[in-house]
Amino acid sequence: MTQIDKAPWQGILPAAATPFNDKNQVNEAAMLALMERNLKEGAAGFFIGGSSAECFLLSHEERIRTFEIAAEMRGKAKLAAHVGALGTDEAIDFAHAAKRLGFDLISATAPFYYKHSMDAVAQYYMDIFQAVEIPILIYNFPGNTGVDFDLSHPAIQKLLTSGAIAGVKHTNRDLYQLERFRDRNPDLLLFCGFDEILSGAEAMGCDGAIGSTFNFMLPHYLKLWDACKKQDRDSVLSLQHSANIIMETIVSLGLIPSIKAILKMQGIDVGVPRRPFRPISKEQEEQIAQVLEQYLVQ
């Protein structure tokens, strides 16, 4: 069975955004500047090429390019690359690139759009692992993929104890399922993937968190994580409450566009998101700025 040293991963990992320049091309300098800032703030590592990176709006070559840029952080922080794709062959191609670039882990959403059986989903992960022999984080995001893992299914139970799976990025508000993943294999590395339930996920035994808003409010969440570890209930409730007011605001306006607008406010111009996302208006920027001023803890 694959054993992962959990200690270096225990903490907060930004799900890195993909910056674009004014020609709608990946902006290497901005991506590295953001990662360097997050590293100085205390990031335990980075999750590259996920939903926050607009992964499915990037070309095949652009996804690999973001891996290449992030690889400059090797030795400074742990790196996980999201390689999920509609087809196994493309996911394997991304996985080979991540291996070549020295990523510590890979991650993959379940194959979506077409409806696959649990047997097929399990085989998808096994095929990726067998092709590159890098442990995989299951990117469990049923709200977007439409794939709900059946943890009672024999193929999924076998997969979770096969050695192919390092852990789970649990982007699901179902904390019961998070605990059930750990029940199926106590050695799994479990990450909270929804920032707004971080404190609840930590209480249910997650090892760390991977999230989109950590790009711009990492110090706030590091304080929350520390309060969770100290079992400082008042601070936990206060910090999570403030974070969730911010989250509620930016989700109502568009999560990815809001994050990019905030990063520009903070001095790192990451451009605007890919269409069909719509950029944030000046009025919406003012609304966001007011909420951040009132609730963001630095």
Residue tagged active-site, from 78, 124, 125, 139:
139
Q: What are phi and psi of 234, to 5 degrees?
A: -60, -45
Which positions ≥6 away from 20 have C-beta within 8 Å?
Answer: 26, 27, 270, 271, 272, 273, 274
Which positions ≥6 away from 249 have C-beta within 8 Å?
Answer: 258, 287, 288, 291
Q: If we measure between CA atoms, which residue out of 205, 197, 203 comes closest to residue 221? A: 197
DSSP state of 192: E
Determine the longest span between alpha carbons in the chain, in angstroms.
53
CA distance linking residue 25 with residue 99, whole number of Å = 24
| 169 is a catalytic site residue | yes
Q: Is the dihedral of CA 58, 64, 69, 72 positive or negative?
A: positive
**Both structure tokens of 58:** 């990037």
| 139 is a catalytic site residue | yes
Residue tagged active-site, from 78, 169, 223, 260:
169
CA distance linking residue 130 with residue 134, whole number of Å = 8
User: Got the DSSP string for 95-145?
Assistant: HHHHHHTT-SEEEEEPP-SS---HHHHHHHHHHHHHHH---EEEEE-HHHH
Catalytic annotation, residues: 139, 169
